[in-house]
Structures are given as structure tokens and as C-alpha cells.
Amino acid sequence: MSTFQAPKGTYDLTPPRSATFLAVREAISAPLRDSGYGYIETPGFENVELFARGVGESTDIVTKEMYTLTTKGGDQLALRPEGTASVLRAALEANLHKAGNLPVKLWYSGSYYRYERPQAGRYRHFSQVGAEAIGTEDPALDAELIILADQAYRSLGLRQFRILLNSLGDKECRPVYREALQTFLRDLDLDEETRRRIEINPLRVLDDKRADVQKQLTDAPKLRDYLCDACKAYHEEVRALLTAAGVVFEDDEKLVRGLDYYTRTTFEFVHDGLGSQSAVGGGGRYDGLSEMIGGPELPSVGWALGVDRTVLALEAEGVELDLPATTSVYAVPLGEEARRVLFGVVTELRRAGIAADFAFGGRGLKGAMKSANRSGARYTLVAGERDLAEGVVQLKDMESGEQSAVPLAEAAAELAKRLG
């Protein structure tokens, strides 16, 4: 074993498990690609200030969890702890919102980094697929994104997840609620750090997972009682559209999400098979974020779904994905001439779009057939000197065990026909 290991709280994705992660990414992104979302990729690090302003200086992410570094030129950078701020920054920089087609619909996939105490389902480096719809205020967009995430999860075979839904109000009604909540919280028995949070962002106190804090929050004022008529109507429209689409959700008035930029619609996907780290993804509307990071007013909505968490949810439900074999045909040459000829056949098969592999390293028949078996190939091609003298190769069906001689010139066409 190497003296080096992956840093604490991170993981390596290696075959065969990595195939599941790829399939999950594909399943989550497929409905987005079919709904007008274009792919965007941003750097793994950004200016610290982008996250401090956008995500919120009072959030755990910014105060405790961000990996920061100073460049030789003195710039303060941070490994990205989440995707939305980066995507919005990139969209603004590229003037995508000025192209005349709003909303700007984008999806992304990548690794994100937070310095947290590692535990099951919570890593310091984690993988997400996300989607953002930028520049339009429309309850149908909020509903669309929730429906697409629900569709993605169902296409994977997940059934035991729940969708939690809430409204956080807007800049008109939230300040009134904030004041009422602060007045209530100041009278509670809370530690110093939580008291500081009351003054900076009191809604985050509602998100505190400690039982002794939650017990004191039973009679906290409810945000729904403070929503203005416009926010109430907006939220009812989102709910009605989801219900009409047959998407089941639960109203959760304590759901605030961990980032400061959310307004109005907020939602979370949870899976009860994951223990304390039950959230597999979530998102919401963030109408003020563009202005927070120096852009114009651009009402937007988005989500991010954890690939790692989704894989854990699949395992918790016992769902096994139907992953195609990485190899359909495995070629086993016996002797130098066969090696040259079969390598040519493998190249021809690959050009025809057939997944083919080759017994490298000049091993004997027994060892090469073991490798063929492990590869998951449906067929093997075996050829020795006598076969080549007769102008044939031996084609073996690995499922039935049947073997037949096929003319060498017709081997690729025969395999293409059998594999459909």
C-alpha cells in the first residue's frame, strides 16, 4: 500500500462502485437536459467574499466550514462550499441574463468542500448535481424544479424519500417576522454563540438540531402567520402545481435551510433510511442573491442533490441499479499472430460502438478466461494458430457456455448482430 492516503473526511471513487455514482449523476441530470437546462462548469475555488456575501457571514458554512487559502499575490480564495453562488457569478460575468431568453436555465455537477466532522453521509468533499433557473419570478419554475428532482429520484427506483416544503417570505414580510422571532428568542436559555446568531440571522436558530434548543422553540412565532398576501398567494400556487403534477410533499414550517440567501419557496428532500443525516438534497428561491454579489435584480430558484447521499439512500432501500456491463466482448489471443489479429478485431468492434477489451500481457488461456469472466463480458473471442490457419475465431457465449467457430472476417458483424 502507498504511504499516502486520501485526506480525512474524503473518499476515492473506484470501480465498480464508481459506476453507481456515474449512473446517479446521469439520472439526476437527464430530466434537466430534457427541460432546457444547459451545462455549466465553474472553478473549484472562488473569491472568499463571494461566499461571505452570498451564503451569509453568520452561517456555519462561512464561519466554520470553509477551506480558505491566500495566494502568493495576497488574494483570499475559498474552495467552493456550495454551487449556487459560483453559478450565479459565472452567469452574470458571461452576461447570460442579457441574451434575451429568461430564465437562464443551467445545471452543473462537481465536488464541493466543507470542513466538518466526518460521519456517515457527511464528508469534507462531496459530490452534487445542481440546477438553477435565473432571472424569472414564477411559481411554475419553483414547481418545475421540484418535479424534475422527484422524477430523477423515481427513475432511480427511490420511493422512501419525502419532500418538505415551506415559504420564507420576502423582503416585505420577513423583517416583521424576524423582529418577532428575535424578541421571542432573546428570552430563552441559549449559549453565547446562539445568542450572537439571534442578532445576525435568527431564522438559523430554528434550524438548530439540538434537542434542548428545539424544546424551547415549541411556542416560537410561526413564519406562515407573518407572510404577506403576495407570498401566501405565491406559495399556494407552488403547492397547487405540485399537487396537480401528483408530487406528494409535506408542509414544514420550521424548514429554513442553511444558507442566508433563500426567499419564499424553500424545500428539502429527506430520506429516513439515512439516520441523522437524512437530507439528500434541497434548494429554494433566492431572489436577492444577485444583488448581494453586486449584480442586478434577478429573481432565481435552484437546488442541489447530493450524489453521495443519493447512493446511500439507494443502499438503504436495497435498490440495485441495472448497470450495463463495462465490457461486452473480451478477446483472448493465444500466440503472437493471434495477438496481432485479435487486437485489430477489438479496435474494429470499438469503432462500431461495441464495448470490447483485450487480454493484455500475454497470459495463458486459463488466466485470460478468468479475466474475461471478471470483466462481465457477454462473449469472448478466442483464437490460436490453428484457428487462424482455418480463417476462424472461436466465439463463446459466456451465459450459455456455447462455443462456435465464426469466420474471422465476419466476427465483428456477427457480434454486432448478437448484441443488437
Binding residues: 82-84, 114, 128, 132, 257, 261-262
180: exposed, middle or buried (C-beta count within 10 Å: 0-12, 13-18, 19+)? middle
Nearest to 87 by CA among 241, 345, 336, 283: 283
Q: Using CA atoms, how far apart are residues 395 and 9, in angstroms rounded to an integer?
A: 47
Q: Find all residues with CB under 8 Å of 239, minimum gap 6, and list them.
A: 165, 249, 251
- Please, are residues 151 and 262 in contact by the beta-carbon 8 Å criterion? no
- Binding region for L-histidine: 82-84, 114, 128, 132, 257, 261-262
Q: Is 54 left (phi over 0), alpha (psi -120 to 50) or beta?
A: alpha
- Please, are residues 9 and 125 in contact by the beta-carbon 8 Å criterion? yes
Q: Using CA atoms, how far apart are residues 406 and 391, in angstroms rounded to an integer?
A: 9
Q: Find all residues with CB under 8 Å of 305, minimum gap 6, and list them.
A: 28, 128, 129, 130, 149, 152, 269, 280, 281
Q: What 3-state class would DSSP assign to 87?
A: helix
> Could you tell me the three cell numbers for 69?
487559502
Residue with grid cell 407570498, as numbered in its chain:
231
C-alpha distances out from residue 208 to 198, 224, 254, 276, Å: 12, 19, 10, 13
Cross-strand pairs, 268: 164, 282
Phi, psi angles (nearest 5°) of residue 419: -85, -5
> Could you tell me the three cell numbers for 222?
410561526
C-alpha distances out from residue 72 to 49, 67, 77, 80, Å: 18, 17, 11, 19
> Could you tell me the three cell numbers for 340?
496481432
